[in-house]
Each structure stands twice: as C-alpha cells, then as structure tokens.
Amino acid sequence: MKEEQGSGGCCGSQDCDGHDGQEKRLGWHEYFMSVAHLISRRATCTRGHIGAVIVRDHNILSTGYNGAPSGLPHCNETNCRIYRSTHPDGTIEENCVNTIHAEINAIAQAAKHGVSIKDADIYITASPCIHCLKVLINVGIKTIYYDKPYKIEHIDELLRLSGVRLVNVHVEEC
C-alpha cells in the first residue's frame, strides 16, 4: 500500500493562538478534517469518538459519527455490548454490537437524503476498519483522508487491490 501524507496543522505557520499578527486561511484538507473532528464530538460510543465527512468538489455531501442507530439507546457503562473476533493474523478485534461506525452513518445519511456519493472522498478522524473500508469501496469513495491510524496493517491488501487512496492528514486541534 502506498500511503500518502497530506499537509496539516490547524493554523499553518502560526501558533494555535494566532499570534503572528495575520490569520491564515485553512486549506481544504485542514477544513474538512477539522469538520470531521467537530462532528466526532456528537459520537455516543463510550470507547471512541470518530467523525466522518463525505466531500466532492469541495462541498460537504454528508456527515456521520459513531453511535447507536437513531431512536435506540446509546451506549453507556451498562449498555455497551462488546463482541470479539479474531483476525486471520491472530489479533483480537473488539467491537460494540450497538454502535454504527461514523463512515457507515455518513453513507446512510447520504442514502436517506438521496445524495450520490459516487467518486467522492471521505475525511475520517481515524483510518477505517476493514468492514467500513469494504463498504467505502462499494459506494465508490476514491480517497480516504484520515487523521489517526487504526489497524492500517489490516486494510493494506484491500487498498492495494481496490485502488482507493489512503492519505494521512493530521490536524492539530486548537
């Protein structure tokens, strides 16, 4: 897999307090990744807050965060039901039965509102799990921009075979 690096940083050359006397406009990658981080703050999963933004032609098409399906109880200390599965390399994967991942929620929102996401890109606060990557491939996402890595070694082969690009865009949160 050829992973790429994108430019990042919340404020470019200035510090997060904006003390260089001139405010720098955010680039597109910083903008969309910052939106993904903001959206992640709505997540209801007790194990991690992930946000996703689907974008085409510099326009936001859909957003999602991880949590329970609409109208169902959110996870808490007594309602988080973890299941374990074993990856072929022997590592143990833990997931919650109640939680829908941010990427899937963003796809579902687009579908619910009749928005085509074919040939779009997605910005995610963490790289996708193997299950979400398979769905992203099927809906026609071309590039996945992520901030923090999550088990990237498990998705190498699918990325290589699919031609979907994976690009790291780290944004410092101010």
Least confident of 27-36, 57-66, 83-92, 155-164: 83-92
Query: Annotation-wise, does 101 bind a ligand?
Result: yes
Nearest alpha carbon to residue 31 among 66, 4, 60, 65: 60
Q: What average pLDDT does range 154-174 have in this prediction? A: 88
Q: Which residue ranges make up each domain of the chain?
A: 28-68+100-168
Beta-bridge mates of residue 67: 100
Residue 80 CB contacts under 8 Å (≥ 6 apart), including other chains = 45, 46, 47, 96, 98
pTM above 0.85, yes or no: no
Token pair, residue 57, equals 């032609």
Q: What is the pLDDT of residue 21?
A: 56
Q: What is the pLDDT of residue 52?
A: 98
Query: Annotation-wise, does 45 bind a ligand?
Result: no
CB atoms within 10 A of CB 132: 24
Topology (CATH level 3) of domain 28-68+100-168: Cytidine Deaminase; domain 2 (3.40.140)
CB atoms within 10 A of CB 168: 17
Query: Annotation-wise, does 132 bind a ligand?
Result: yes
The per-type count for the chain, helices as H runs and strands as E runs, is 4, 8
Q: Which one is catalytic: 103, 153, 157, 173?
A: 103
Confirm whether 157 is a catalytic residue.
no
Q: What is the pLDDT of residue 90?
A: 80
